[in-house]
Amino acid sequence: MIARNTTDLALVVGLLAGTVAALLAPGVPWPVEWAFGAAFLLGLPGYAVVAALFPRTPEQTPTDHVAPPSWVARAALSLLASVLVVAATGVLLGAVGWLTLTPVVAVVAVVTLAAVVVAYGRRRRLPADRRGNPLGALSPSAALVGPRTSRTQAAVTLLAVVVLLASLGFVAATPSPEPGYSEVTMPREDANASVGSAPQALVAGEDNTVALSLENHEGESTAYTVRVQLQRVGANGSVLEQERLDSFRATLADNETARYERDLSPSMTGEDLRLRTLVYEGDASGDPDLSLRVWVDVAEAGSS
């Protein structure tokens, strides 16, 4: 039978059991895991330790030299003690290479239970009305409104709290509206090689394999049109001559990456030609959504 004014300790044991199950059992929904996890790391061990340290209510008695810590101070100390317990557990387990979930949960749970036992024993030795059980001492309404608040004002405040909680639920349930994006890469054959040492060389009339990587992070399946052009560029940047080397369409699922190896067979030759890759979302019209360029030399077939 549970002694009077120890229901908070029973609640700690219950929450601890729920936490162990939530953290170690597979397939637990994340909101449940987060709620129990936060309580486990920042609440339960410290609460139990503080309950063991201070079995009495905060009120000062005539025999006290100083008053025991207030409820607020105990709440703060519970946070501190929780982190200290978790940190000590982690440092010890980390030093011997056992810092994994099960040992952590086991050690913190054992420390918490031991503190609960001590707290229970110390409280039982006190008169029931002197036992430091915050559940019996605190009023939930005191956390919402002041002492002279009218019923209407209290109702409005309660409504505001409900709206706040609903907004948090809305945010948790709906994905972030972060705008999507796409990526296109023309990888270098050897990413370790130093940059700028030599231009990429192609041979006219032959298949020159060029790699291309496309990634879709638009948040939905996206169709792309890809065009590859070879351009001769004048000194002022104007395009003097242009040749389309390739054009293809690809549809990528969200978060899909596709790597292509395209055979390009240019007819234009010369040095300092610009190989452009244009990526359009949807059909190829207007300005491309993404573009790449690589400066190449194109030699005639058979030339050295």
Partner 1 sequence: MSLPGLSRKFAVERADLAVAKLGVVVSVLLLGLQWFASQPFLLLIPLATGTGSALYVFTESTEGRAYRRPTLPRSVAGLLPAVVGLGLAGVVVATHVAGTRTDAVYLLTGGVGVAVFAQILFVDDDALGVGAVLCQILAAALVIRFGALYATPGYVGVDIWTHATVLVDGVARNGATAALGDSKYVMAPVYHVVGAIGTLVFGGVRDGIYLAVGLFVTLSALFVYATGRLVLPARWALLATALYGFSDQFIRWGMHVIPTSLGLAFFLAAAYLVTRLFEGDAERWTVALLAATSLAVVFTHQVSTVVLLFLLGAAALVAVALRAVGSNPNRVPSARTAAALSAVTVTTVAVTVVSWAYTPFSSGSRFLWRELAVLRTALTRDAGFLNLAGGDGGSAAAAGSQSAFAALIPYVELVGFTLLLAAAVVGGLLMLRWRASTGVSLTHVLTAGTMFVAVFGLSIFGVRVLMPGRWMAFLFVPMALLAAAGFSYVARTRSRRLVVAAFVVLALAYPTTMVVAEKATLDSPAFEDEHPRYAYTEPEIAAVGSTGAVLSPDSEQVVGTDHPYRTLYDRLGGYESGEPVLGANGPTATQVSVYRDYQSTGPISFETAADAPAVGAAAVSERVCPTDWDKRYANDAVWVCTQSGQPEAAS
Q: Segment 109-168, which members bind partner 1 (CB under 8 A)?
A: 138, 142-150, 153-154, 156-157, 159-161, 163-164, 166-168
Are residues 265 and 174 in contact, defined by beta-carbon separation less than 8 angstroms? no
Identify which of residues 64 and 207 has a Cβ nearer to partner 1 in the complex: 64
- Only one of the segments 113-121, 213-221, 222-230, 260-268 lies at the binding site for partner 1 (rule: CB under 8 A); that segment is 213-221
Binding-site member from 13, 73, 113, 114 for partner 1 (CB under 8 A): 73
Query: 95-103 long-range CB contacts below 8 Å, 24 or more apart?
Result: 101/23, 101/24, 102/24
72 makes contact with partner 1 (CB under 8 A): yes
Binding-site member from 37, 134, 136, 270 for partner 1 (CB under 8 A): 37
Identify which of residues 79 and 284 has a Cβ nearer to partner 1 in the complex: 79
Are residues 119 and 54 in contact, defined by beta-carbon separation less than 8 angstroms? no
Binding-site member from 193, 223, 253, 300 for partner 1 (CB under 8 A): 193
Q: Residue 298: which of 203, 226, 192 has the closest Cα?
A: 203
Element (H, E) at 184: strand 181-185
Dmax over Cα atoms in the chain, in whole Å?
A: 106
Identify which of residues 60 and 247 has a Cβ nearer to partner 1 in the complex: 60
Q: How far is CA 71 from CA 134, 136, 232, in A?
A: 7, 12, 78
Binding-site member from 26, 29, 62, 177 for partner 1 (CB under 8 A): 177
d(CA 31, CA 37): 10
Q: How far is the CB of 36 from partner 1 (least distance, A)?
A: 9
Scanning residues 230 to 249, which ones bind partner 1 (CB under 8 A)? Answer: 233-237
**Vertex 79 angle, CA 74 and 80, to 5°:** 95
Identity of the amino acid at 104? V
Binding-site member from 41, 113, 118, 284 for partner 1 (CB under 8 A): 41
Q: Total residues contacting partner 1 (rule CB under 8 A)?
A: 107
Scanning residues 260 to 299, which ones bind partner 1 (CB under 8 A)? Answer: 271-272, 274, 289-295, 297
Alpha-carbon dihedral 285, 290, 295, 297, rounded to 10 degrees:
-50
Scanning residues 14 to 33, which ones bind partner 1 (CB under 8 A)? Answer: 23, 30, 33
